[in-house]
Amino acid sequence: MARLSTGRLERMSDVVQLFCLPHSGATAQAYLRWTKLLPRSVEIQPVEPPGRGARTGEPLRTDLVGLASDLADELLPKVRARYALFGHSLGAVLAFEIAHALIERGAAAPMRLFVSASAAPALRDDRTKAKPLTDDELVDELRRLRGTPEGALLDPELMALVLPVLRADFLMAGGYRYRRRAPLPCPVAALAGASDDVPAAAIGAWSSETASGFAMKLFEGGHFFIHEREREALDFILDGLAAVTAGRAAA
């Protein structure tokens, strides 16, 4: 499996930490696949929320802002000067809140915030998720998003593991309330699927959350274009990191 490459990120002095937040119902360990595809100058750091993956024994969380605060406390000793954040769907909002929380704690701003398959936080309306959904309703939602193989949806043992996490994440989305703050001092880059049901205008509204530049790209595919167009999406991420790295080197 060949790695993607970009000359501007190949120097060891340009190593960038990329902290990755999962989408609803998922584990961040899925991002470890990217370590095989990205150049070694990008250090993938999956950020695992409690209740899943290696943290299965911990209680699930339903307060997004509180979770972001706790994760920022965990990340603060780990972040170096060159780091970025990536989140897909609900993970994008969590990454956004973590960026604010890290800056509030005195950390340097991320080099770039990558937000994928999510409306800007000011425009998200997940009130229909504020009440717990039944197993059947959760499976219907997974089927609608077309990111889970039908065989997995029909596997009761697998669903017994996935659905409690998904239910908690949906409650987290339903309870989230946007708070207006000063725009982030780092660039924001938004990725989205052209056939997703999130309107392009709602993706573009992320531009109001940065005082330092905004980029947006639509990819063929739906909500999980990130799997269907993985290499194209990773190219976009690499280009964004390389551009910021070059800008800092010139400063």
- Cα 29-31-33 angle, rounded to 5 deg: 105
d(CA 25, CA 187): 28
Candidate list 24, 89, 116, 118, residue with the active-site label: 89
Decide: residue 22, CB within 10 A, 0-12 exposed, 13-18 middle, 19+ buried: buried
* Annotation says 89 is catalytic: yes
Decide: residue 243, CB within 10 A, 0-12 exposed, 13-18 middle, 19+ buried: middle
Q: Contacts by 32-40 with C-beta closer than 8 Å and gap 24+?
A: 34/234, 36/1, 36/3, 37/1, 37/3, 37/4, 37/230, 37/231, 37/234, 38/3, 38/4, 38/234, 38/238, 39/3, 39/4, 39/5, 39/6, 39/9, 39/10, 39/238, 40/3, 40/15
Could you give the 3-state DSSP secondary structure of residue 36? helix
Active site residues: 89
